[in-house]
Structure 1
Amino acid sequence: MSRDRKTGIAPLTFRSSHRSRRTAGATGARGRLAQSAVAMALGASLLLAGCFGESAQDLLKSARTHLDQKDPKAAIIQLKNALQKDESLSEARFLLARALLDAGDVSGAAIEAEKAQSQGYKGDALVALQARLLLLQGKVDEVIAQYGSRHLASLPDEADLQAALVGAYVARQKLAEARVAADAALKAAPDSVNVRLLNVRLLTSEGKLPEARASLDQLLAQSPNSGEAWQLKGELQALAEVPTAEVVESFRKAISLDKRLVGAHSGLINTLMTSGDKAAAKEAVAAMKTAVPQHAQTFYYASVFALEGGQLKEATELSQSLLKIAPNSDRAQFLAARVAQANGDLRQAESLFAKVLQSSPESTQARLALAQAQLRGGDADQAMTTLQPALEAKAGVPPEALSLAAEIRLKQGRSDESESFLARAAEANPNDVRSRVGLALGQVKKGQEAQGMADLRKLSAEDKGVSADLALISVLMRKKDWDGAGKAIDALDAKQPKSAMAPELRGRVALARGDRAGARTQFEDALKREPAALAAANNLAAMDVQDKKPEDASKRYDVVLKADPKNLRAHMAQIGLRLNHKLATPDESIKRLTELTRAHPESPAPRLALIGLLVEKPDLKQALSVAQEGVTRDPDSPELLDVLGQVQLASGDRQQAVASFNKIATQQPRSPLGPLRLADLHIQGGDRDQAAAALKRAQAVAPGDAQLAEKVTAKALLIQRPDVAQVAAKGLQTARPNFGLGWKLEGDIARSRKDWPAALAAYRKAEQVSQAAGATVPATELAVALHSVLVESGKTDEAKAYGNAWLAKHRQDTVFLHHLGDVAVNKGQYAQAEQYYQSVLNGAPDNAAAINNIAWVKLRTGKPDEALKLAERANQLRPQVPTYLDTLAEVLAAKGQTDRAITVQQDAVKQAPGVPAYRLRLAQLYVAGGKKTEAKAELQRLADLGPKFEQQAEVQKLQAAIR
């Protein structure tokens, strides 16, 4: 495989399909012969020959000759004619597969090879061909699994099989195994040009460039007319960074020997483009069009040039043609996404970028492009989630990723982090404008504020971009210099007068100043400038909801959808809002999601939401049908396979669920999702050993994945397998030694076995590591864990001192304040708990969790009237939250409103049917309300849980009371 000059990564291979048309010239000849009797006799004999025709064996023999002459098109015609006469000819099927592959039709070749095997064709040649076809279809793991330990008696076929294995091993970065396979191929066919070329490519992958070049020179001396050898020489010269003229000469020589060498054309075009000779590159593309007009690479380069030349219509047509030929190619999808972006179709661009990233999660380029598209589409949170892996890359974080992260954080109102990312960009690339911005920010943080701000203002004035403007605005907003921030936003506005960015930022400033009316005006201005600006619509909708005007909030999305009727994110946001605020019934939402699923078959989001609502209804039969339909349409989607497995499990079909989750694991070997789902399934079934094995497989996929390590640790502790949890924690510590979470998880493990000294040591180590790494965001979760251990281990005074010290540094940390309230509740210190929860509300007046907890405390302290008001408010702020519904039902029961309490508790059970405590309260309410039949049913459900529900004594007591 050839390798990209900069990255050393093998370029993606396109598959194409070529079909020939048969021409008939015999008719005219027969007309001329008919002018004489002799001619008529001759014509008759010709017609008779046409009626009886060549035998299938004659056609088969002719096809072999065409294949030997490297004329696959003619061979395909003869073989298809042979199969029309005798479709049972398995050898014809095999030769047709070979011919189709030589013509570039990989999928067609795979079909015919399978037919040949099913018809009984056997032999080493078919084995080698099938291995090669699997490799070309990207089924690398299947090649290794099926053929990794296999050898063939026929030496040419053995060489072909081992060559396929080399490609598979290289794709999985298993170079030692690839070397063994290459040596086996060389042993089988030492004089084969193709095998020797394969060895040269492997030497290159092994980093042995001098040996590779020497071996290739020897090969060229023996086979100077090998076009593929000259092509490889050009590729090696490019890797060695020899003068461009020499590289170009080698690629041109290859093309002169074989004008259909796609790799040589591509290499020539890439070299000319890299050297800046666009005119010559354009001529090379034209030559490629003439030589291989229907090849995917030809469409690719033609589309690139059309896009760069601003010929969007032509670029669109070419990129769509490319997608038809190579629908699963990352390169094709990425280019089509760029074209869609240029056309302003952000929805299509985002969808295509997402497909590339799903196929190649290691592609930083695709990750950045998708995050950027999501940010432009108004979803800053999702953009940051997409970008996060690039910000944690071991090989170094690209400056572009840091700059994009800075922009996202600023839009989220997190100025400190925005500045931090820009400062990191400065370290990564000191000569870039963004780096100069980062250096200026560094001066500000070091106390050289006047100089730093002056540099930012100077950069803002000089640079046509907006990096300096965003940094300046960030600093001023952090300093709460609202007037200064306003002026800086005005400067940005002058650069981008049609963009919604400036009024969006003005709206954030207004909100920070407490000017809700001014903020609303600015967000509305943003929406006027860009009616499809979802971020502005989201801000306005959030304000409307806070003002108890959900209907007005819904109308905000009408504006976006009028400008962009296909904006799926806006549709989904509106459906969720209307459903949560009871502006639409579940059935109405199901109908709308069904329509969206049909309108956007390429996106799993509406289908997943639809399945979720159908499960809640519950309509498991329809949910299963929708899920199966999605998997049929997109069988490689892990999201759809996942939800199918979950619906199958909910429907009681455990075996099918296992099959679905196993399929995820097989199709996505680098994704932990499949093993995690299997672990959950085994946990539910009580099979701890199988669950532990699945968790180990999941952790091994990505030991440096923080979120995965957390999940594995939590599940391992749930099944009382601290050994598995410890592997996850240690794996994260090794992979990311500057990230405190690995030690925090180690503390969680120690805490689970009540080893308080070990837990405290691990948590404090986590704090030290995070601080040493320069963490700027308070590690509240870690602080809560450390404080909890101090409380649980009886270190009351130390816990109090730690809590006070934390709050002295982070006065507005509502999460920690909430935790302190919970600690006080557990101790029965209700007055103290209420004070902490009230402190949460001082910083976040609409914190529904704190309001709910105060209601619960008020009830315990004999204040049911106040409790009712608070419980109702919590449920208004966050409707249909089971915990809040449960509190409200308890308060209503205390007030003597049993019927209403029953209705509310029924909602709680509906929202969380798997929580036995909610069912127990419902049973108690049924008993209090005289509804014995309903009470018996609920109590029986609880009794059936046996020891899984620890309050069986209360269940038995209630059952006895209603007998």
Structure 2
Amino acid sequence: MSRKIQNGPELGFTQHAAGRGRLARGATALALGSALLLAGCLGDSAQDLLKSAKEHLDKKDHKAAIIQLKNALQKDDTLAEARFLLARALLDSGDVAGATIEADKARAQGYSGDALAALQARLLLMQGKVDELIGQFGNRHLATAVDEADLQSTLVGAYVAKQRLSDARAAANAAVRAAPDSVPVRLINVRLLTSEGKLKDAQEEVERVLAKSPDAGEAWLLKGELQVLAEAPPAESIASFRKALSLDKKLVGAHAGLINLLMRTGDKAGAKEAVAAMKTAAPQHAQTFYYAAIFALDAGQLKEATELSQSLLKIAPNNERALFLAGRVAQANGDLRQAESHFAKLIQGTPDSSAARVALAQLQLRGGDNDLAMTTLQPALDAKTPSSEALALAAEIRLKQGQGAEAERYLARAAETNPNDVRSRVGLALNDIQKGRDAQGVAALRKLAADDKGTVADIALISVLIRKKDDAGAREAISAMERKDPKSATAPELRGRLALLRGDRAGARQQLAEAVKREPTSMTAANSLAAMDLQDGKPAEAVKHYDAVLKADPRNQRAEMAQLGLKLANKLIEKDDAIKRLTELAKAHPDDPVPRQAAVGLLMEKKDLKQALSMAQEGVTASPDKPELIDLLGQVQAASGDRQQAVSSFNKVATLTPRSPLGPLRLADLYAQAGDKEAAANALKRAQAIAPTDAELVRKVVEKSLAIQRPDIALLATKGLQTAQPKFGLGWKLEGDVARSRKDWPAAVAAYRKADQLAVEAGGTVPNTELAIALHGVLIQSGKTDEAAAFASSWTSKYKQDALFRYHLGDVALNQGRNEAAEQQYQAVLAMNPENAAAANNIAWLRLRAGKADDGLKFAEKANQLRPGVPPYMDTLAEALAAKGQTAKAIEVQQAAVKQAPTVPAYRLRLAQLYVAGGNKSDAQAELKRLADLGPSFEQQAEVQKLQAAIR
């Protein structure tokens, strides 16, 4: 495997995505000063100051040179050469932004030549503009040898960033030909050897460089980095880094390497001293800000840490480590909204960053959004080797969602990830329980919970005891966990969930109220209490729980958004008022796209596309490089019919987030809607290529590919997922979906069975209902009714509480005309979950077909009480009311259904029938004319004509 080396271990501050820190800064040391002319005496004129600056540059005293160059430009701002030299000096001091400005000014003032071209190339690389660099300079050669070597060395970094190693090798060879004795050029070659996986060759080459140039600090730095890669004893690498700094104290990479090793070996005092030395040597460098901020944060010096992290972001606004650090600093300051923003931005640019996903999911979990936290974390869990931190957090989320068995499964997986971690010992104990050794496993968990200061074992133990319905044991375990952190709201939250599981709603409220008392900003407790109030039909009371959160934390935008959502869903606020408040929030928090997205969404619901477009455009104008806002603008443009502008917006999203599939997926949808299946297919290929092992992305690509009749793309995506994750059943489940779309029933059955087999082998205890429904459905479609019946019987016996599969069986029976069997299944669903409105609605429909109007009305009313305002349920209720002779009330309900879903002709037909029954011919005629105008697109035209004839 290729092993790549960074210039400055652990942190690369070039801003291109794929090549962070690889080789790029090796080019920055190339050819500095060799084209400079030494001048005479220091004087006060601009020319004298310029000469003095050149002397300082020759001595690599960039700070003094910068001062002299700025003084020279103050005297004569037309000195283009001074601007060029200032740009070089600023770049070598780590000020990329300042160097870019001065280089542009030098060019504007007429400065040209090979040296400027080489500098411009380096600046493009340092800004992460790799494609622009290659496009502008990839085929260019410079006449001056030193500048040609500089340019080709820069191109090496660009090609490595794009994973074009053969081109990188050609550029490196060209650089060596131009300057065969240049130490920086030879070191660039060493770095490339590491990228090519030739670590031993790289070490031998750096030794040859040192034999010829023993005082080359960069060579000692590189030797230290190679020793780190070769896993040499830390003392050897430390010695190399110290040697490099003794030769050149401004070698930032040596400072960084030394600090990292000292931290890794536990020499915190030595690392602190090294950071102080780095601040003295390179006070304005990005890496200096980074390490200084880490130590300030560790020391609790939040003000200093904040200032340093902000300075770092100004230099490297898209660097993943800079964003992660800024998120941690914001979190320590209590600014959770800002912390979430930093972590979310990091994930946009680097979707596979497990640490960022864990950090963001932790904040979302703390904010009470369990589902969102799990969605954020899922790609980290789908990785080939998920971290134990990600698995442990997934367990905590699942436990709070009431999925104890799933929580235990994640902890068991942690045992495979890190056998020496406490999570692994927890996983082994859970494995014992799964294999029937309950007493042994529970005893191990109790001991681990007692011995460990953390709560991983406590969470596992509580989960097991709740699942075993050992309430007394669970309460005891919760109390033991509470003693570790008496002020935490977690214990009463878990007691509240336990009470809910046992039907003790009063006890649950009491415990959740205690959680709020301990942690007034807890969104988890507020969400649970609000959910209980909604179940009790008290939406106004549910809203008040978020008032309490906002009183404790007025900046808690998540709470206000949740409250607004509740008010809208329960019609406690007018849409216009909600839009007004969301607009205020968007203006108050311009960097947070959520309020603006919500406001624009409401405007689009109102069909006020003009205002929606204006608001979306305002967001992009204020933050022109924020992908979420550009994506929002694209969605509004698409809805407005401005396809070309939407394409432009989504292309910009793709450019800004090259490692995110969002842009290509949006384009695929847009092209598909326009009927351009080929363009949609190409967009899907681009999306899939970005993250071929991302399970959720593969699922989307498969679904969208099948929608445009391109099963070949879907199959390619599934095969990629299977190769990357051979023990993950989703790849085979999706292959089954592809085969099913082709009506290749044997292949679909085989793929679904393979997915089911993998789930069993993985020890899954939670039913994969989606897969079960797919397998049962394809067995029926292929005519294997006996096999389907046997599978259904086995599944319902194994998973007696799987209401979703029961509902599926009801639908199957209904489609086959077996109404009595269908009702039995829907009744079973209601027995498991009395609040399943869909099952109640279907039973009402079946009772009406059976001529049982009283029962039909009872179940229809139940469905509408559980889920008011849902058109299909309102339609059934209207039919039931009509069957009971309550025509006027039935018309009122059906009118509401039509208003909610004006494009569904079946609802209009029933309304016309009700008008006829009520003697309202004029309104009936109006509705029937609308239906008649639909022509053959409405399949019930015969009924329309019959009614029209009846009322003439």
TM over 0.5: yes
Q: Does the 8 Å CA contact 1:377/1:533 hold for their aligned counterparts? A: yes
Q: How does 1:668-683 map to 2 (within 5 A)?
A: 668-683=657-672
Alignment correspondent of 1:376: 366
Partner of 1:231: 221
Aligned pair 1:691/2:680, yes or no? yes
Indicate yes or no: 2:512 matched with 1:496: no
Whether the 8 Å contact between 2:613 and 2:636 is mirrored in structure 1 is: yes
Measure the CA separation in 1 of the matches of 2:161 and 2:202.
19
- The reply on whether 1:358 has 2:348 as its aligned counterpart is yes
Partner of 1:401: 390
Q: Is the 8 A contact 1:427 1:435 kept in 2?
A: yes
Distance 2:624 2:471 in 1: 53
Offset at residue 442 of structure 1 (A) = 2.0
Q: Distance in 1 between matches of 2:907 and 2:103?
A: 59
1:580 aligned partner, one-letter code: A
1:611 aligns with 2:615: no
What displacement does 1:865 show? 5.2
Query: Do residues 266 (structure 1) and 256 (structure 2) align?
Result: yes
Distance in 1 separating the partners of 2:690 and 2:318 = 24
1:832 pairs with one of 801, 808, 821: 821
Most deviating of 209-218 and 953-962 = 953-962
Query: How much has 1:198 moved relative to structure 2?
Result: 1.1
Q: 1:707 aligns with which of 688, 691, 696?
A: 696
Equivalent position of 1:749 in the other structure: 738
Matching residue's letter, 1:903? Q
Q: Percent identity?
A: 68
CA contact 1:94–1:121 (8 Å) conserved in 2: yes
In 1, the alpha carbon distance for the partners of 2:671 and 2:913 equals: 33
C-alpha displacement of 1:863: 4.3
Confirm whether residue 251 of structure 1 aligns to residue 255 of structure 2.
no
**1:896 equivalent in structure 2:** 887
The yes-or-no answer on 1:304 pairing with 2:294 is yes
Determine the C-alpha separation between the residues in 2 that align with 1:889 and 1:678.
42
Residues 762 and 326 of structure 1: CA distance in aligned 2, closer, same or farther (over 3 Å): closer
**The residue matched to 2:922 in structure 1 has which SS?**
coil
Asked if residue 134 in structure 1 is aligned to residue 124 in structure 2, the reply is yes
Q: CA deviation at 1:399?
A: 2.0
Separation in 2, partners of 1:6, 1:751: 47
| Equivalent residue letter for 2:521 | A
Say which of 518, 526, 544 aligns to 1:529. 518
1:194-222 CA distances to partner (integer Å, 9 max, x unpaired)? 21121112222333233222222222233
1:460 to 449, 473, 476: 449
Partner of 2:429: 440
Show the 5 A alignment for 1:67-466. 70=60, 94-114=84-104, 123-394=113-384, 396-466=385-455
- Which string of whole-angstrom CA distances, capped at 9 and with x for unpartnered residues, describes residues 332-369 of structure 1? 33223223333444333333222222222222222222
CA deviation after TM superposition for structure 1 residue 486, in Å: 1.0
1:817 is paired with a residue whose SS is: helix
Match of 1:782 in 2: 771
Tell whether the 8 Å contact from 2:94 to 2:286 is kept in structure 1 after alignment. Answer: no
1:765-786 Cα offsets, whole Å, 9 max, x none, are 3222332333322121122122
Q: Which moved more, 1:731-740 or 1:879-888?
A: 879-888
Q: How many residue pairs end up in the alignment?
A: 919
1:868 CA drift (Å): 4.4
Aligned to 2:901, the other structure's residue is in SS state: helix
The superposition leaves residues 296-320 of structure 1 with CA deviations (integer Å, 9 ceiling, x where unpaired) of 3333222222222333444344334
Letter in 1 for 2:539: P
Q: Distance in 2 between matches of 1:881 and 1:78?
A: 74
Task: Compare relative contact order (CA 8 Å, sep 6+) and give the higher one, 1 or 2.
Answer: 2
Contact kept? 1:699, 1:712, Cα under 8 Å = yes
8 Å CA contact 2:97–2:315 kept in 1: the answer is no
Q: Report how far residue 919 of structure 1 moved.
A: 6.8
CA offsets 1:372-422 (integer angstroms, 9 cap, x no match): 22222322222222222222222x222222222222221211111222222
Q: Give the TM-score taking structure 2 as reference length.
A: 0.89
| Contact 1:704–1:732 (CA under 8 A) maintained in structure 2 | yes
Using the TM superposition, give the Cα deviation of residue 600 of structure 1 relative to its aligned residue in structure 2, in angstroms: 2.7
Taking a change above 3 Å as real, the CA distance of residues 605 and 924 of structure 1, as seen in their structure-2 partners, is farther
Moved more, 735-744 or 480-489: 735-744
Name the counterpart of 1:484: 473
Aligned AA for 1:604?
Answer: P
2: CA distance between counterparts of 1:285 and 1:717?
Answer: 56
Q: In structure 2, how many angstroms separate the alpha carbons of the residues matched to 1:418 and 1:243?
A: 40
Letter in 1 for 2:122: R
Give the alignment's TM-score, normalised by structure 1: 0.88
> Does the alignment pair 1:631 with 2:620?
yes
Q: Which letter does structure 2 place at the counterpart of 1:757?
A: P
The amino acid of 2:617's aligned partner reads Q
Q: Does structure 1 conserve the Cα–Cα contact (< 8 Å) formed by 2:891 and 2:911?
A: no
CA distance in 2, matches of 1:177, 1:952: 67
User: Structure 1 residues 256, 956: closer, same or farther in 2, change over 3 A?
Assistant: farther
Q: 2:654 aligns with which of 661, 665, 676?
A: 665
Q: Match for residue 801 of structure 1?
A: 790
C-alpha distance in structure 2 between counterparts of 1:879 and 1:136, whole Å = 57
2:6 maps to 1:2: yes
Equivalent position amino acid for 2:6 in 1: S
Moved more, 72-81 or 892-901: 72-81
* 1:536 positional shift: 0.8
Give the secondary-structure state (helix, strand or coil) at the position aligned to 1:272: helix
User: Is the CA contact (8 Å cut-off) linking 2:155 and 2:171 kept in structure 1?
Assistant: yes
**Aligned letter for 1:727?**
L
Give the superposition deviation at 1:628.
2.1
CA distance in 1, matches of 2:849, 2:627: 47
CA distance in 2, matches of 1:831, 1:466: 50
2:589 counterpart (584, 596, 600): 600
Among 520, 532, 536, the residue aligned to 1:543: 532
Q: Equivalents in 1 of 2:168, 2:131: separation in Å?
A: 14
CA distance in 1, matches of 2:81, 2:865: 73
TM-aligned CA distance change 1:83 to 1:454, over 3 Å: closer
Q: 1:818: how far off?
A: 1.1
Distance 1:174 1:165 in 2: 11
User: How far apart in 1 are the matches of 2:20 and 2:910?
Assistant: 62
Contact map agreement 1:12 1:329 (CA 8 A) in 2: no
Q: Is the 8 A contact 1:890 1:901 kept in 2?
A: no
CA distance in 1, matches of 2:932, 2:251: 74
CA distance in 1, matches of 2:567, 2:240: 64
Q: State the SS of the aligned residue for 1:930.
A: helix
8 Å Cα contact 2:530/2:542 also seen in 1? yes
Residue 39 of structure 1: aligned partner: none
Q: Which runs of 5+ in 2 are unaligned?
A: 13-18, 26-42
Moved more, 656-665 or 338-347: 338-347
Alignment of 1:835-846 (within 5 A): 835-846=824-835
Q: Distance in 2 between matches of 1:549 and 1:828?
A: 40
Residue 546 of structure 1, CA deviation: 0.2
1:329/1:709 Cα in 2 relative to 1: closer, same or farther (>3 Å)? closer
Change (3 A) 1:954 1:180: farther
Cα distance in 2, alignment partners of residues 951 and 667 from structure 1: 50
How far the C-alpha of 1:115 sits from its partner, in A, is 5.5
Q: Rate the CA distance shift 1:459–1:210 in 2: closer, same or farther, 3 A.
A: same
| Coordinate RMSD, CA, aligned | 3.4
1:955 is displaced (CA, Å) by 8.1
Deviation at 1:427, TM superposition (A): 2.9
Corresponding residue for residue 549 of structure 2: 560
